[in-house]
Amino acid sequence: ARKHGMDPSAMAIAFCLTRPFMASVIIGATTMEQLKINISAAELKLSAELIDDIAAIHRDFPMPI
């Protein structure tokens, strides 16, 4: 997220919204600022480079538990 100048939670929500198997994305916020960031994620367009970067991290850490 930092590399692409994005808020991590907004990026995560925007990424989830790109998944074809997701019926919905549940957000959580404890402050008005967090709520604004979460809602703004619906309008984010993730670049192909950012999606590739996420995929590379997933390849390195496929099960981060």
Could you tell me which residues come within 8 angstroms of residue 47 by beta carbon, excluding any fewer than 6 positions away?
4
Q: What per-residue confidence (pLDDT) applies to 64?
A: 75
Q: What per-residue confidence (pLDDT) applies to 60?
A: 94
**Tens digits of residue pLDDT in 29-52:** 999 999 999 999 999 999 999 999
How far is residue 12's CA from residue 26's CA, in Å, rounded to a whole number?
11
> Please, what sign has the CA dihedral across residues 28, 34, 38, 39?
positive
| Band of residue 65 on the pLDDT scale cut at 50, 70, 90 | confident
How far is residue 47's CA from residue 40's CA, in Å, rounded to a whole number?
16
| Cα–chain center distance at 34 | 14
**Tens digits of residue pLDDT in 5-38:** 999 999 999 999 999 998 999 998 999 999 999 9
User: What does pTM read for this prediction?
Assistant: 0.84
